[in-house]
Amino acid sequence: MEITTIGLDLAKNVFQVHGVDAEGRVVLRRKLRRSDLITFIGSIPPVLIGMEACGGAHFWARELAALGHEVRLMPPAYVKPYVKRGKTDAADAEAICEAVTRPTMRFASIKTVAQQSAGVELKVRQLLIRQRTRTVNALRGHLAEFGIVAAKGIGRLDELVAIVRDASDRRLPDAVRDVLQDLTQEIDGLNDRIRRIDRRLVKHCREDETARRLASIPGVGPITACALQAMVTAPKSFRSSRHFAAWIGLTPRANSSGGKERLGPISKQGNTMLRSFLVLGAIARLRNVRSSPERDGWMSALLARRPYKVAAVAVANKLARIAWALMVRGGIYRETATS
């Protein structure tokens, strides 16, 4: 019997393969070592291969697609309902094989090497920022033990660093000053690494046509533009700008039943990095509107009737919709009298 569909459960070393024929009958259940996967898949005629969009999935999707197979990636949360009873690799592969054939299943686009590379740069940048924040908080906490406190914000850190490096300031014991200088050196090193990545991202934004167009949106800078380009591999797969904003997690979470519509806070689903970048861009825009209300009537009216953070999420939602429109339809952002 000829195999038509394969469910492939990915792992580090041992992969589980589940295959069915055109009638849905099971014709293949097999474990494969990593080194044997390409040889085995390459030995069978082109089939539909389903995988969960997890670590390594995009690499294997490119490799298997190059052998002539049709590869589809699915979010793991959408595959889970098809798992029968216990959790095993064989059960997961069977569930993947069944889920990939569902007509209403939603699939993730396969990323190119360039898109994955940009994504890694952004993730490393976020990791370095988290490390810097943790180190700065440690420095603030230790200095507070000796009554030395500075205002919030990374911009006020220089005051604390100057105190640590000032040997004439006797508020700190010498032993404490020595170990805290290690923290300041660590912060300097992290700042240098973050700036180096930022320079690469800004250069990429200037060289890439899509990123340049996205950066024309007020509130979307080079970093956000690069993130949108790297994380949104197939913008046309979204039916509308609202679906795109919902994918990022900027739309209300619905809990409606019996004809009663109940909308809660934003769902916070999708890509956390994109959502945080867009919200930060929205906050920057709202700050400008607060200082010059006449610049944007819509946002001024929004601030007048909604709390600041609610307004920031609403503006971020709008930025996401504008970004989707530019990615799908082309062109650049053109400011209007009222946004």
Q: Report the CATH number of the 5-99 domain.
A: 3.30.420.140
Q: What is the pLDDT of residues 190-244, one digit of tens each?
A: 999 999 999 999 999 999 999 999 999 999 999 999 999 989 988 998 999 999 9
- 183 has a pLDDT exceeding 60: yes
Beta strands in the chain (DSSP E): 5-9, 14-20, 26-33, 48-52, 70-74, 252-254, 263-266
Distance between alpha carbon 32 and the CA centroid of its chain, in Å?
A: 31
Predicted local distance difference test score (pLDDT) of residue 324: 96
Q: Quickly list DSSP for 118-167.
A: HHHHHHHHHHHHHHHHHHHHHHHHHHHTTT----SSGGGHHHHHHHHH-T
pLDDT at 336: 66
For 291-320, how does the pLDDT look when each residue is reduced to its tens digit (9 = 90+)?
Answer: 776 667 888 889 889 999 999 999 999 999
Query: Alpha carbon of 45 to those of 2, 4, 5, 18, 184: distances in Å?
Result: 9, 9, 11, 15, 60
CA dihedral 218, 317, 286, 228 (to 10 degrees): -40
- pTM for the complete prediction? 0.85
Which helix (H) or strand (E) segment holds residue 46: the answer is: none
Q: pLDDT digit string (tens) for 126-157?
A: 999 999 999 999 999 999 999 999 988 888 89
Q: Which of 87, 84, 82, 62 is nearest to 73 (CA)?
A: 62
pLDDT > 90? residue 62 = yes
- Read off the pLDDT of each residue in 107-111 and give the average, rounded to a whole number: 92
d(CA 232, CA 271): 10
Q: Which residue has the tokens 């914000």?
A: 153
Distance separating alpha carbons of residues 255 and 285, to the nearest angstrom:
31
Q: What confidence score (pLDDT) does residue 13 get?
A: 92
Its sign, for the CA torsion 181, 184, 189, 190, is: positive
pLDDT at 1 (0 to 100):
67
Angle, alpha carbons 209-225-321 (nearest 5°): 100
pLDDT at 117 over 50: yes
Confidence of residue 5 (pLDDT cuts 50, 70, 90): very high
**Token pair of 288 as six digits:** 């400008």
